[in-house]
Amino acid sequence: MLDNNRLRIAMQKSGRLSEDSIKLLTTCGIKINLKKQELISFSENMPIDIFRVRDDDIPGLVMDQVVDLGIVGENVLEEELLRRGIQSKKILYKILQRLDFGKCRLSLAIPCSKKYVNLLSLQNACIATSYPYLLKKYLDKKNINFNFFILNGSVEVAPVAGLSDAICDLVSTGATLEANGLKEVEILYNSQACLVSRLGPLPSVKKILIEKLITRIQGVIKARESKYIMLHAPSSKVQSIISLLHGAEHPTISRLAGETNKVAIHMVSSETLFWETMEQLKVLGASAILVLPIEKMME
């Protein structure tokens, strides 16, 4: 029997977002006893139940209030919003946080052998896609007539198979397009995974838990972008060295045992330290330069 006071989070069962979604929750301190074949897994240390489903079902589960939160690509969410809009179904949701993984774009691609000038080159084309509503929204706005048919997988083989003139599909590196002799010609939509919440009244225990979760998620994302930098610097060069380290607030400067001309500088930097900067630091006399990843942060 499901307990209504436990927070329900839906995430993709198996696919590109699954691993990062689980990792995010685990890094936030949620211990999950994942059972491969089961739809619902229970957290051992927090009042949270995890629903593992197909990503396409997540926006509906959130909007129909079956679950409280969902982790899903914005592309899937937006497609479902457009679909519901046309079917006059209720659209109730709130994006709580973009999650900085699952980054991709929805693009139009055509065979490399075909000439492309602008969107008019696609006038009356037949386009294969899993995202008919996003495609229609984009092409209607540009007054391009088109025919489409839906393929829910392997969309990129449609032109080679003679099924379509173009495709509208998700791209991250572009390697799949290239491998199928296709070139990307228009970007329709940029996407990443997001944490989406249902609307409507929630018991206060759940509200508090969601607040806590968002703070932790923000801490994980911030930590991912930040580095802990440690180095030894000649005392006379401290200012020039610090000015090379962008994104660092309030460095700690401390004495080195048995050393009077050098100090240790420690800092958290919101930017990656590139090799070029490390080389410049070295020229200024810095030594023992360490750049460490940070796992969690709370401000």
63, 76, 108, 213: which one binds ligand ATP (CB under 6 A): 76
All residues at 6 or more sequence positions from 203 whose CB lies less than 8 Å from its CB, including other chains: 4, 5
- Bridge partners of 195? 71, 97
Nearest in space to 214 (alpha carbons), one of 10, 72, 66, 25: 25
Minimal distance in Å, beta carbon 156 to ligand ATP?
Answer: 10
Task: Tell me which residues in 27-86 interact with Zn ion (CB under 5 A).
Answer: 55-56
Type of residue at 57: D
Sheet holding 94-98, edge to edge: 40-42, 48-53, 7-12, 69-73, 193-197, 94-98
9, 104, 167, 182: which one binds ligand ATP (CB under 6 A): 104
**8 A C-beta contact, residue 59 and residue 70:** yes
Minimal distance in Å, beta carbon 2 to ligand ATP?
Answer: 22
Considering only the stretches 2-10, 14-22, 62-70, 290-298, report the one whose residues sit in contact with ligand ATP under the rule CB under 6 A: 14-22
Which CB sits closer to Zn ion, 134 or 263?
Answer: 134
Residue 271 as a binder of Zn ion (CB under 5 A): the answer is no
59, 70, 73, 219: which one binds ligand ATP (CB under 6 A): 73
Establish how many alpha carbons lie within 13 A of residue 7's alpha carbon, considering only the half-sphere containing its beta carbon: 23
Helix, strand, coil percentages (3-state) for the chain, rounded to 5, are 30, 35, 35
Which CB sits closer to ligand ATP, 15 or 85?
Answer: 15
Which CB sits closer to ligand ATP, 123 or 172?
Answer: 172
DSSP-derived secondary structure for 105-160: EEEEEEETTS---SGGGGTTEEEEES-HHHHHHHHHHTT--EEEEE-SS-GGGTTT
Which CB sits closer to ligand ATP, 15 or 47?
Answer: 15
Residue 106 as a binder of ligand ATP (CB under 6 A): the answer is no
Q: Which does 17 bind (CB under 5 to 8 A by kind): ligand ATP, Zn ion, none?
A: ligand ATP
Q: Which does 63 bind (CB under 5 to 8 A by kind): ligand ATP, Zn ion, none?
A: none
Task: Provide the binding-site residues for ligand ATP, judged by CB under 6 A.
Answer: 12, 15-17, 54-56, 73, 75-76, 102, 104, 170-172, 191
